[in-house]
Amino acid sequence: METLSHVSENIKCINERTQLSYLQCSLLAFISMNRRVVVGHLKKPSKYSNKFIEIQKVFFDNDEYSFVFNVQSFLAKRAQERMSSYNKKNSSGKWALRKVRSQKKRECIHLLEDILFEDGFVVMYDTENREGIGGNIFIILPDGSVMDKVMIKRLGQTIWNYCEVEKKDTKEIILNNGVVMTLLSREITN
């Protein structure tokens, strides 16, 4: 029989993973306001928490330049570099793979944060670990207003649910300004 502290630790980990997914979706919503984002298929559903969304590409299109950032190939290359580093240190294969996968999620979030930082957004949270993020979470918008944890969760759920529904119809899900604004207007009217 599990002890109460073990159960509460499991719930804490589930909440951290889910909060990470909501933050990712919120960041994607803000990125999609000025860019197109292609999201791949979602991973198989988890029993307890929302899965992390696989971001394929981010299209940077404006008057001065056009650039496609292939997020998956970048993250895969970084993961290979880490695996190679762990293999050189004679680390256990399973341990190294688990470590690289959790780092890949965090690196994806940091990548989204960096893209938004260029637009004037600042993302802050109390703790970050291999499970996800915890504590207070804030997104400071370019106009100085602040999105708190509850607002991030609500926006994240909206985007995540859209991706969950869309994945049944297509292999790729495209997020852009029109899609995000439509989702937000539906959320506001509900």
The percentage of residues in the chain with a pLDDT greater than 70, rounded to a whole number, is: 92
Mean pLDDT score across all residues of the chain: 86
Asked if 151 and 158 touch (Cβ cutoff 8 Å), the reply is no
Asked if 37 and 28 touch (Cβ cutoff 8 Å), the reply is yes
Pick the closest to residue 29 from 134, 183, 148, 164 (CA basis): 183
To the question of pTM greater than 0.75 for the whole model, the response is: yes
pLDDT for res 190: 63
**Which residues lie closer than 8 Å to 174 by C-beta, 6 or more apart?**
36, 37, 38, 39
Q: Pull the structure tokens for residue 43.
A: 């991973």
Domain boundaries, the chain: 4-189
pLDDT for res 58: 93
Element housing 90 (H / E) = none
Tokens 């190939």, residue? 73
d(CA 144, CA 140): 6
Q: How confident is the model at residue 2 (pLDDT cuts 50, 70, 90)?
A: low
Asked if 116 and 30 touch (Cβ cutoff 8 Å), the reply is yes
pLDDT for res 42: 66
pLDDT in tens, 81-138: 988 888 888 878 788 888 888 888 889 999 999 999 999 999 999 888 877 888 889 9
Lowest mean pLDDT among 24-38, 67-81, 159-173: 159-173
